[in-house]
Amino acid sequence: MRKVSGLKKSSVFALAGLIMMTPILAQAQQGRFMLAQARSEVEQGRIDGERDAQAATNKPLWFVAGCLGGIIGLVVAYAIEPSPPATKLLGKSPEYTAAYTDAYKATAKSVQTRMAWTGCGVAAALYAVYIILVVAAASSSSS
C-alpha cells in the first residue's frame, strides 16, 4: 500500500469538507436573497400604499368638512380611519400587504387631517375678515 503524504491528505479532507458544506452555503445564499426580496416587497408595498392613498383621498371633501364643520370637522378627520381597497392586495405577499396597509392608512389620515386643518384655517380667516368688515361698517355709520 502506498503512503499518502500529509499535504495530499489535508487537501483531500479540505475538498471533502467543502463538498459537504456546499448545500449549507447555497441555502445561506438563498436565505439572503429571500431576505432582500422580502425587504424589496415591503419597500414596494410602502411606496404603493402612500401613492394610492394620495390619489384616493377626497381632498375637497375634507377641506369642506374643515371649512364648514370647524372643530367637528377636525374631530371627524382624526376619528375616521381610512382602509385600503382590497382589490389592490389580491395575490400579494403578507409582507407587502402589511406594509401597503400601514402606509395607506397613515398617508390617507395625514392627508385628510391636513385638508381639514386647511379648511378650518380658511374658514377662520374668512370669519375674521367678516368681523373686521362689520366692525368697520358699524364704526363708519355711527360717525
- Count of other CB atoms within 10 angstroms of residue 20: 9
User: What's the pLDDT score for residue 80?
Assistant: 92
Phi, psi at 127, each rounded to 5°: -65, -40
| Contact call for residues 42 and 99 (beta carbons, < 8 A) | yes
User: What's the pLDDT score for residue 88?
Assistant: 87
Banded model confidence at residue 142, pLDDT cuts 50, 70, 90: confident
User: What's the pLDDT score for residue 8?
Assistant: 72
